Amino acid sequence: MKIAFVASEVVPFAKTGGLADVSGSLPPVISNLGNDVKVFMPKYFSIDSKKYDLKENKLVGVFPVTINGFEYLGKVFKGFLPDTDVEVYFIDQPYFFHRSQLYTNDLDEDARFVFFQKAVLITIQRLGWKPDIIHCNDWQTGLIPLYIKDNFSWDKLFEKTATVFTIHNIGYQGRFAKSALFSAEIDGKHFYPAGPAEYFDDVNFLKAALWYSDMINTVSEKYAEELLTEEYGSGMQDTLTSRKDDFVGILNGVDYEDWSPEKDKLIPQKYTPSTLENKAVNKKALCEKFELKDDPEIPVIGIVSRLATQKGFDLIEKAMNDLIKLNCQLVVLGSGEIEYEEMFTEFAEKHPEKIAIWIGYNIELSHLIEAGSDMFLMPSHYEPCGLNQIYSLRYGTVPIVRETGGLADTVINWNDSKSTGTGFSFSEYTPEAMMEAIRNAINLFTQKEKWKKIQENGMKLNFSWTESAKKYIELYQKAKNKRNL
Ligand code: ADP
Ligand code: GLC
């Protein structure tokens, strides 16, 4: 099959979260299964063309895209996902993509990603390449299924092209004022109360995708179930329920070339399940970096996260005074909502021997925290998949998670009598329930044999892409069949 994989962030070129990990690691696996995959993403200011040897694509050339009556010129640069032959097409438009962040609150945020989506389709046309599937990811690509069935349907090239839409996070929908209808050139027939592109009188890019893509998935089975409920559906539950037969959960895989302690180039000391004692070297380095005491009897709990309420930081905030009384140290890497940045900073200033925070984005440090911590905390309110708990399992860093979405699908609560389980989980979204799970973890940590067992249980698991990639191929096939009925 020919597959266009479209995403707003892709590792190693640009990343704010797990979408980038998925977009950098799934396409090569799909390609290795005998498919022709091309990736499409914006060419952000932060992407270093020299480093990645990106070349302007003369075949595509310069093309105009009209938005709100103005013409913007686009170009395309071509590169490859590192160490693969998967082509990546970077949509270049300096006015839209040379900004300080990947995503902004600027007034033309809608126009930025309208430009991107139209430019992707124009690039495909100019390449004369007929994809069987356009695989769209999150709201930044949500209009493509509508465009294929309407604005671009005149072009026979797309006659048989089916669309698949992956929901990585329902919390971000690309919801804009009605004026976005004009910038996006969405025909009025798609905009009526409770209609395809309408949500409470606003334009909603994600909702349009849920109406018009041939197949839909999200990134874990549990989250797929949750999304059909009012509690988790963020207003999309009815739309998704109406598409229930075309909607599945496929758990994300991870790239163990980047994320395993035996291969990790970014950590001071590599280790394997049989040399687990070497993990202590990483703990020492982590504690030194953060001026914490390196003590085998004091567990270090790591956090690497966007500091967003989604991730359960309101629970942590409420539990903080109790948490600092426990025999543990907390290392936090993250950035995001100012409230949480300030909260951790204050606690770290008052209790430097207990808590350390590094505000910002730091890939090397994220690896050191995975390798050097004893436990990893992810008490998310909701979690479509979550990757850090999966990385943690491989690093022998025992995850403490709330039982929701992908966290529930990947972490098994410790059973003391059977010595089974890979982490600690709790279900009620309360600070008390979270604290109980943390206390249980700290308690097990004092029992060295059992602790080793829980680490080994997790390290043995395999969440590589192999199985999930096959499920994507099945999904593509179903989409293709539906489109060509
Ligand atoms: P989400 O996509 O919702 O943020 P995931 O768990 O799927 O959550 O993925 C988060 C990814 O982003 C992981 O690869 C994690 O290591 C990385 N990450 C998050 N915050 C930071 C940070 N401050 N510095 C470096 N990496 C980070
Ligand atoms: C989202 C989700 C996260 C998921 C990632 C990749 O950002 O919040 O749970 O792992 O996408 O699918």
In this structure, the answer to whether residues 375 and 448 fall within a common structural domain is yes
In this structure, the answer to whether residues 222 and 320 fall within a common structural domain is no
Q: Is the CB of 23 under 6 A from ligand 2?
A: no
Pairing outcome for strands 70-80 and 63-67: antiparallel
pLDDT at 447: 98
CA of 326 to the centre of ligand 2 (A): 30
d(CA 369, CA 267): 9
Tokens of 50: 């020299």
In this structure, the answer to whether residues 342 and 223 fall within a common structural domain is no
CATH of the domain at 390: 3.40.50.2000
What is each CA distance from 255 to 219, 461, 463, in whole angstroms?
15, 13, 9
Question: How many structural domains comprise the chain?
Answer: 2
Which residue lies with its CA nearest to atom 10 of ligand 2? Answer: 386
Tokens of 122: 């124009």
d(CA 199, CA 196): 8
Domain extent for 52? 2-253+465-483
pLDDT at 484: 86
Q: Which residues of the chain have pLDDT under 50?
A: none
Q: Is the CB of 385 under 6 A from ligand 2?
A: yes
Collapse the DSSP code of 429 into the 3-class scheme (helix H, G, I; strand E, B; otherwise coil) and give the result: coil
Domain-located, residue 259: no
Tokens of 81: 């996902």
In this structure, the answer to whether residues 195 and 328 fall within a common structural domain is no
In this structure, the answer to whether residues 64 and 174 fall within a common structural domain is yes
Domain-located, residue 265: no
Tokens of 174: 């690309």
Q: Is the CB of 137 under 6 A from ligand 1?
A: no
Q: Which of 387, 388, 392, 409 for mutating ligand 2's site (highest number of atoms within 8 Å of CB)?
A: 387
Judged by its nearest atom, the ligand closest to the C-alpha of residue 22 is: 2
Q: Is the CB of 319 under 6 A from ligand 2?
A: no
pLDDT at 20: 98
CA of 379 to the centre of ligand 2 (A): 14
In this structure, the answer to whether residues 452 and 469 fall within a common structural domain is no
Domain-located, residue 123: yes
Q: Which atom of ligand 1 is least distant from the CA of 311?
A: 3
In this structure, the answer to whether residues 454 and 469 fall within a common structural domain is no
Domain-located, residue 282: yes
CA of 16 to the centre of ligand 1 (A): 7
Q: Which atom of ligand 1 is least distant from the CA of 19?
A: 2
pLDDT at 376: 99
Phi, psi of 254, deg, nearest 5? -130, 160
In this structure, the answer to whether residues 426 and 411 fall within a common structural domain is yes
In this structure, the answer to whether residues 188 and 104 fall within a common structural domain is yes
In this structure, the answer to whether residues 315 and 288 fall within a common structural domain is yes
d(CA 36, CA 57): 19
Domain-located, residue 260: no
d(CA 286, CA 276): 16
Judged by its nearest atom, the ligand closest to the C-alpha of residue 384 is: 2
Q: Which of 264, 305, 332, 389 for mutating ligand 1's site (highest number of atoms within 8 Å of CB)?
A: 305
Judged by its nearest atom, the ligand closest to the C-alpha of residue 368 is: 1
C-alpha closest to that of 377 among 396, 400, 343: 400
pTM of the model: 0.97
Which residue lies with its CA nearest to atom 14 of ligand 1? Answer: 18
Q: Which atom of ligand 1 is least distant from the CA of 383?
A: 3
pLDDT at 136: 99
In this structure, the answer to whether residues 477 and 434 fall within a common structural domain is no
pLDDT at 485: 75
Q: Which of 135, 169, 392 for mutating ligand 2's site (highest number of atoms within 8 Å of CB)?
A: 169
Q: Which of 387, 393, 402, 407 for mutating ligand 1's site (highest number of atoms within 8 Å of CB)?
A: 387
